[in-house]
Amino acid sequence: YADTAMYRAKESGRNNFQFYRPEMTKHALEQMQMKTSLRQAIDNEEFIIHYQPQVDIATDTLVGIEALLRWQHPSKGLLTPKKFISLAEETGMILEIDDWVMHTTMKQVSKWYHDGLDPGKLALNISMRHLEAPNFIYRIQNTMDSYGFKPEWLELEITEGHMMKNAMEIINKLKQVSKLGINISIDDFGTGYSSLSLLKRLPINRLKIDKSFIEDIPEDEEDLTIINSIIALAKSLNLKVIAEGVETIEQINFLKSKKCKYVQGHYYFYPMSADELQEILLTNNE
Ligand code: C2E
Ligand code: MG
Ligand code: MG
Ligand code: MG
């Protein structure tokens, strides 16, 4: 077991030497192996993008697509971000991964527009680590330019998690993003720590209600109250609202009655491959 781990670590090369120590826990060992294989995943492009449509519930039309990263792991199968995103953030590898995501999705979406298809806005999840990188604006502008991708096609999803820590810097960054004509939404809204005063100062377009509040409606009274407040807050700040994780008709009906215009979730669509999405876009065009 130990020998295998050491062999793998060595084999991966590239500033990545790590040595097995007997006191390492099973978890630590797994993390170490995961780090090595994540490095390989970046080098070998083992990632794929799934797209999940966002829907206007008044008209049942597709208005956007969120890009969701998947890792086609050589032995573990298809992995969702929960299994590797925090490790990617800790190690800084998220910069390269998010870069790959930007390139892959902008290239694809530009092609769809060019072919006369309408995927709506592309929503990209941007890690705080990436947003904070000094050349973030340059990288995004550069990627858009490479594919003739228009800024109004893009929406960045940022989580409120640690915004307060670095509020000034983040406000500045997002203002530059917004000046380019790119939309910004706050993801998983209601689960983080952003203050109302910060929210007012951010150049954002949309709040995305976290799926943990949607899960138990319409039964859970507290969740109903929270959703009501988020929708009211959005209205008073002139922001759009989208609900994520919507799975049932009862949830749709409640959200409709509260004038939440947009939803995303298994009720309409599961995340799907680019090919599958293209089929839907072609059908929409008929
Ligand atoms: P998120 O941005 O909040 O994405 C929504 C998550 O909810 C996705 O999980 C999606 O597959 C899942 N979902 C969609 N509809 C439903 C539903 O009806 N019910 C339930 N229970 N879940 C639903 P996923 O794909 O596992 O992604 C998890 C998180 O990983 C994302 O949360 C996002 O924060 C992060 N992520 C995904 N792709 C990227 C990426 O390219 N870069 C970065 N930095 N983070 C990413
Ligand atoms: Mg998201
Ligand atoms: Mg979300
Ligand atoms: Mg979420």
47-56 and 77-79 beta bridge pairing? unpaired
Of all protein residues, the one whose alpha carbon is nearest to atom 12 of ligand 1 is 245
- Please report, as a single letter, which amino acid is at residue 232: A
- Ligand 1 contact, 80 CB (< 6 A): yes
Of all protein residues, the one whose alpha carbon is nearest to atom 35 of ligand 1 is 81
- 221 pLDDT band, cuts 50/70/90, is very high
C-alpha 141 – ligand 1 centre gap (Å)? 25
pLDDT at 192: 81
- Ligand 1 contact, 160 CB (< 6 A): no
Ligand 1 mutation pick, 65, 68, 82, 160, max ligand atoms within 8 A of CB:
68
pLDDT at 205: 97
Quote helix, strand, coil % in the chain, to nearest 5: 50, 20, 30
pLDDT digits (tens, 9 = 90+) for 39-83: 999 999 999 999 999 999 999 999 999 999 999 999 999 999 999
* Average pLDDT for 254-271: 97
Integer Cα distance of 126 and 177 in angstroms? 12
Residues in Cβ contact with 41 at an 8 Å cutoff, skipping those fewer than 6 apart: 47, 71, 73
pTM of the predicted structure, to 2 decimals: 0.91
Q: What is the DSSP string of 42-94?
A: HHHT-EEEEEEEEEETTTTEEEEEEEEEEEEETTTEEE-GGGTHHHHHHHTTH
SS3 call for 180: coil
Of all protein residues, the one whose alpha carbon is nearest to atom 46 of ligand 1 is 125
SS3 call for 241: strand
- Ligand 1 contact, 225 CB (< 6 A): no
- 213 pLDDT band, cuts 50/70/90, is very high
Ligand 1 mutation pick, 125, 129, 266, max ligand atoms within 8 A of CB:
125
The number of the ligand nearest the C-alpha atom of 245 reads 1
